[in-house]
Amino acid sequence: MAVSRAEVFPDDLRHDWTQEEVSALFELPFSDLIHQAQTAHRRYFDPNEVQVSTLLSIKTGGCPEDCGYCPQSARYDTGLERERLMPLEDVLAAAEAAKAKGSSRFCMGAAWRSPKDRDIEQVAEMVTAVKDLGMETCMTLGMLTDTQARRLKEAGLDYYNHNLDTSPEFYPRIITTRTYEDRLDTLNHVRGAGIHVCCGGIVGMGEGRADRAGLLRELANMPQHPESVPINLLVQVEGTPLHGSDSLDPFEFVRTVAAARILMPASRVRLSAGRTDMNDEMQALCFLAGANSVFYGEKLLTTDNPESEADRHLFERLGIRTAGCDAH
Ligand code: SAM
Ligand code: DTB
Ligand code: SF4
């Protein structure tokens, strides 16, 4: 029976999930799904510990790609001001501030289709400098060649974020300027260079449940699960094509988190963008469903994230401790 095969056993990470099996998880009664997710979570993690990363946009706006959700695409008028690549000192100051607030990982994002080799040299310096502060480093810069990935690894990069965003079927409705295959190629380069993979997607873009299941199936069937799996709730930005998308039932978001936890039990599942649209109760359900990582700090890349004070208060109310630097 499809559902019983979804049981997760320690050291038995599966990479052969069928669409039917993943869909069956989504169809479970809510309490059964959450119970299964909690059970999987507790086999691999301390359930009361959450890892926190802070984001910084090191190059903002003016991106040539047409990702329908993104305020940074040059194709949409979102009122965002373009900014050139940030100087090293400014990046370092932001990283120091994030560290002082208790963040263990610093994630630097650039609105590029793909970096040029001379960009790589500049961002490599940033990686080394942030790493020297004793923080874990993460970057998201668009598509990477094998050589570029190796250069970033050499500079000390711990994680690279590159999302699949949605199912292969729904993908062409969201982005036309790069393919699903392109994304898988970059992920292979990152993995091949020995950098930890941070890869997830966005829900609430008007996709169906089969697409949410399809995204998770793709992630879970990679030869190695991404160490970090961000589940973003679409941040609807005026001027982007996806602004005005039907909002997603909050329980469906929680189900997506729970299914991710069951399929990739040893990975960090990140409750990512969209938290300003969630109440504390919904976030608590996400943690119960197995989310154990968040972005911490008032800004994501260009949009708002909850106030740090509000997050600290929420963690305190839930008895959640924030994790220091670790492998995941
Ligand atoms: N330009 C690079 C790229 O796309 O590969 C890196 C930065 S890009 C902003 C990183 C990720 O942020 C995207 O892949 C997407 O999953 C997420 N993202 C962007 N805009 C978003 C939005 N409005 N809501 C939720 N997630 C979003
Ligand atoms: C990810 O999956 N979510 C983050 C991070 N990776 C780079 C980005 C969310 C961006 C939300 C829109 C913005 O702030 O521009
Ligand atoms: Fe550009 Fe990345 Fe935004 Fe797509 S998601 S438009 S590639 S910045």
Segment 23-70, tens digit of pLDDT: 999 999 999 999 999 999 999 999 999 999 999 999 999 999 999 999
> How many whole angstroms from 115 Cα to the centroid of ligand 3?
12
Burial code (b: 16+ CB inside 10 Å, e: under 16) for 68-92 equals bbbbbbebbebebeeeebbebeebb
Pick the ligand that lies closest to the CA of residue 143. Answer: 1
Residue 324: the pLDDT is 62
Distance from the Cα of residue 219 to its chain's centroid = 12
Alpha-carbon distance of 53 to 103, in angstroms, equals 5
Dihedral sign from CA coordinates of 82, 85, 87, 92: positive
Sign, CA dihedral 167-169-170-173, equals positive
199 catalytic? Reply is: no
Q: Give me the pLDDT at residue 173, please.
A: 98
**Which of 66, 69, 70, 160 has the most ligand 3 atoms within 8 A of CB, as the residue to mutate?**
70
Reported pTM: 0.95
The verdict on whether 138 is a catalytic residue reads yes
- State the pLDDT at residue 323: 81
Residue 163 Cα: closest atom of ligand 2: 2
* Ligand 1 pocket member 234 (CB < 6 A): yes
CA of residue 110 to ligand 1 center, whole Å: 10
Q: How far is the CA of 66 from the centre of ligand 2 (A)?
A: 15
Given the CA of residue 233, which atom of ligand 1 is nearest to it? 25
Give me 176's structure tokens: 């036309």
Distance CA 325, CA 54 (A): 13
pLDDT range class, residue 244, cuts 50, 70, 90: very high
For residues 186 and 165, give the distance between their C-alpha atoms in angstroms, rounded to a whole number: 14
State which of 163, 184, 207, 240 you would mutate to test the pocket of ligand 1, scoring each by most atoms of that ligand within 8 A of its C-beta. Answer: 163
| CB of residue 109 inside a 6 A radius of ligand 1 | yes
| Catalytic residue (choose from 178, 217, 270, 275) | 270
Ligand nearest to the CA of 204: 1
| For residue 257, pLDDT beyond 90 | yes
Which one from 105, 138, 199, 217 is the annotated catalytic residue? 138
Give the pLDDT band (50/70/90) at residue 11: low
Q: Grade residue 163 by pLDDT with cuts at 50, 70 and 90.
A: very high
Q: Collapse the DSSP code of 190 into the 3-class scheme (helix H, G, I; strand E, B; otherwise coil) and give the result.
A: helix
